[in-house]
């Protein structure tokens, strides 16, 4: 994997993030002030503030004008943001495995509104059971236009689909998500090893390329019990 050139703001972001996660900066404590950090990293204040802004978005710190920038305690961390579950975990070095439940080709039908395609246009339709560190974690159910992914086959499904889309030359731009509370039915309860009737999240994703083409529609059901987030006034 080629290492991307890092911008200064990203390098500072990562360094400060490590210092927070490693406990070098203590929760509720103040970080060094901006002028000190500017000198340490040899950057202008604008660049430093970009890095700090990124930390704020992650819920790692918050600032108060006139007082300082403070490290948040871990329960504020936005590590459980609304991103793709698989991606999040792969990034943390955990094993993600997939079992293909089915793989078929179907006409676009009712989904023509989402894909802006004729109702006869063929879609690849698959479903997977996904395991995190060996335990069932998520069931997905996805549709992708065949004309965009000619060489997509059952083998492909074992890896990350976002990576696959990028190897096809598409750049993922947006992911429109809709989160709904549902109750687990027989089928889902079985696949996720939970009790029938358990309330869980279902998240639908509509994934767009930079050309505003819909690359994928996927509905994910995970056995996550809660989403934590933070808002700062």
**Closer to its own copies at the Cβ: 35 or 171?**
171
Per CB under 7 A, does 192 bind DNA? no
Q: Which of 40, 45, 174, 187 binds DNA (CB under 7 A)?
A: 45
In the chain, what is the straight-line distance between the N-terminal and C-terminal CA atoms, in Å?
40
Q: Report the alpha-carbon distance of residue 5 to residue 11 in Å, rounded.
A: 10
Tokens 């809660």, residue located:
226
Size of the site for DNA (CB under 7 A): 28
Q: Calculate the dihedral angle through the C-alpha atoms of 141, 143, 149, 154, rounding to the nearest 10 degrees.
A: 30
Tokens 């997939």, residue located:
98
* Region near DNA per CB under 7 A, out of 26-34, 90-98, 130-138, 156-164: 26-34
Per CB under 7 A, does 17 bind DNA? no
**Closer to its own copies at the Cβ: 122 or 197?**
197
Q: Give the footprint of its own copies on residues 42-81 (CB under 8 A).
A: 46, 62, 64, 67, 72, 75-76
Q: Report the alpha-carbon distance of residue 30 to residue 52 in Å, rounded.
A: 13
Per CB under 7 A, does 33 bind DNA? yes
Per CB under 8 A, does 195 bind its own copies? no
Per CB under 8 A, does 14 bind its own copies? no
Tokens 């990562």, residue located:
14
**Closer to DNA at the Cβ: 12 or 152?**
12
Q: Report the alpha-carbon distance of residue 108 to residue 125 in Å, rounded.
A: 10
Q: Which of 16, 20, 25, 49 binds DNA (CB under 7 A)?
A: 49
Per CB under 8 A, does 135 bind its own copies? no
Residue 231's contacts (CB-CB under 8 Å, 6 or more residues apart) are: none
Tokens 């991103």, residue located:
83
Per CB under 8 A, does 6 bind its own copies? no
Size of the site for its own copies (CB under 8 A): 38
Beta bridge partners of 145: 123
Per CB under 7 A, does 203 bind DNA? no
DSSP state for residue 170 in the 8-state scheme: -
Kindly report the number of other CB atoms within 10 A of residue 212's CB atom.
9
**Residue ranges that bind its own copies, judged by CB under 8 A:** 28, 46, 62, 64, 67, 72, 75-76, 82-83, 171-183, 197, 199-201, 210, 212, 225-233
């Amino acid at each position: 994997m080629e290492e991307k050139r890092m911008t200064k703001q990203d390098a500072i972001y990562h360094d400060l993030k490590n210092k927070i996660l490693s406990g070098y900066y203590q929760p509720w404590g103040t970080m060094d002030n901006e002028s000190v950090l500017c000198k340490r990293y040899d950057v202008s204040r604008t660049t430093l503030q970009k890095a700090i802004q990124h930390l704020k978005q992650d819920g790692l710190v918050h600032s108060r004008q006139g007082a300082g920038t403070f490290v948040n305690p871990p329960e504020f961390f936005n590590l459980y943001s609304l991103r793709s579950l698989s991606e999040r975990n792969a990034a943390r070095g955990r094993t993600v495995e997939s079992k293909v439940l089915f793989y078929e080709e179907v006409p676009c039908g009712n989904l023509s509104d989402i894909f802006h395609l004729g109702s006869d246009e063929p879609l690849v339709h698959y479903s997977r059971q996904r395991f995190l560190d060996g335990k069932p974690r998520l069931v997905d159910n996805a549709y992708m236009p065949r004309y965009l992914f000619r060489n997509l086959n059952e083998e492909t499904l074992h890896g990350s689909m976002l990576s696959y889309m990028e190897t096809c030359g598409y750049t993922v731009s947006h992911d429109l998500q809709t989160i709904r509370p549902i109750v687990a039915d027989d089928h889902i309860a079985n696949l996720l090893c939970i009790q029938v009737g358990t309330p869980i999240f279902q998240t639908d994703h509509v994934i767009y390329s930079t050309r505003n083409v819909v690359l994928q529609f996927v509905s994910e059901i995970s056995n996550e019990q809660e989403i934590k987030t933070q808002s700062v006034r």
